[in-house]
Structure 1
């Protein structure tokens, strides 16, 4: 029996040694895989313990990053800008406490060098965090250049719209103030309508800025008719009624020169259709109801209101309340009833604009 037990213990020890050897080999392979993964990384990787000390660092040679392996044993805060330290630690602590991956963006500074980075914290069971850091300096610089370019394009578009509006203004001494007021009215209606749900947010400004061009087609109307004091004959009014189409052709020419400038579709809607009527009796196309672009429906109310409250060669200006009654009375025939409701909700501000511009 003693011999049998000894043999059993020897066999058990042999199996245990073999199991240990297998585990050591598995651990060696796992370490080899982990090392290969780390070596394959193109972004720096650090291990930070629960007290904020860097316990391990790996920075690939190709990484344009200001920290190297020499930071091991130092606290992370030694390399962070003071204003970012609290944000950094807040994210880091959230990672540790929640056990979830968290991200942080900021700037590292070493020996006066600053680079933008994005850190991804991954928690480890021993209470430390693995921090994978990506240098995004180039991305940020590219974003900045794109933002500057976008701002430059926006200024160019504003200059083009303004120049074309000035062209229309030069034909009629009263047009300049009318342009500024109607732009303000359309902007107010857009804001009241929650237009960000109708247009891309970055295009909302283009809509009200394009309102400046609504009468640009009048440059093609003869002076004898455009500047005539008093009422027009039917034949003269038929000529005036061509200005939306003239304006649309002008914008076609502009588009042929500029390409697909983002303001042109909105400008063309307003220019070509702001004299259409909700009941289909307007011009030049006789569009009806929602077939009329929303921007043109807003412009119709803005244009008529301003015409009513300002002096024209053929009529004295109305008071605000009287003009309000005319707009309300035109709901469902001349104007979109929903736009009239918008107008009523901000009518007092219409009056303020008409008095201030």
Structure 2
């Protein structure tokens, strides 16, 4: 069993190192070290950074972690383990120079303002969304990277259901481009209430030479967008963001599903969600899965921008909406499941 002293210093070190690695990555230091050994001064000169601060931070990471090596000439480089870490959290594994690295972007970057004001939130002095906001720009790359793991699940549903039209709710995932490539005959739609998200999606689709009809609307306002869908046959509505829609209440989402049954009968809704894991199963689950799940609940419930349901809860949601059939299958990644609601 770990001693109280070891527990304390380990937790404190993890907190500090996460901040250090996030900022080193944002400044381009980790990318520079991927290119080959160099001293802290050389890194600072290349990136126009403060040499003393750069040296102190690299010395700290080298001293407390296994990510870096340092030779007798004082040159830093990624260790074999460090290279594995960066490869795992990079957008591209084939082009090290141009790929971006998601290093604590969500936990430290996007939610940094939340942690800074956590005491005020606890004491009811400040409220997220009114007095301050998270830095969503840091979370977007993380969502895109996460979404890649679900293109196969969506394609399986498309093939199984013989779908010709697909509509994504929340368009910043990059999934529309992936579906266009994997299923070129598919009619694609993207729905988002954010004009900025739609502009970014439009640019990304253009760069990928993909075509999709983009609609600015709130998913819950079904009457405001359903009439724009042109399809003679039932299609698929899918999203990684139904937990965020749930922040507006179960009744509103259930009501939207019921209205969809009237406006788009025969369509299928696919919710790709990581359900809340039972605490009784903690001992039998992989630590990565359990920790990710708890963080997912924390960051959404803390600021009220989402609700994470249990597996039974997601199934019950479709049953409350009166769906003809509700099924759920594993996505094969981090406990995510595909909840299918037949309208």
After TM superposition, the score normalised by the length of structure 2 is 0.26
Q: Could you say which structure has the higher helix fraction? A: 1
After TM superposition, the score normalised by the length of structure 1 is 0.25
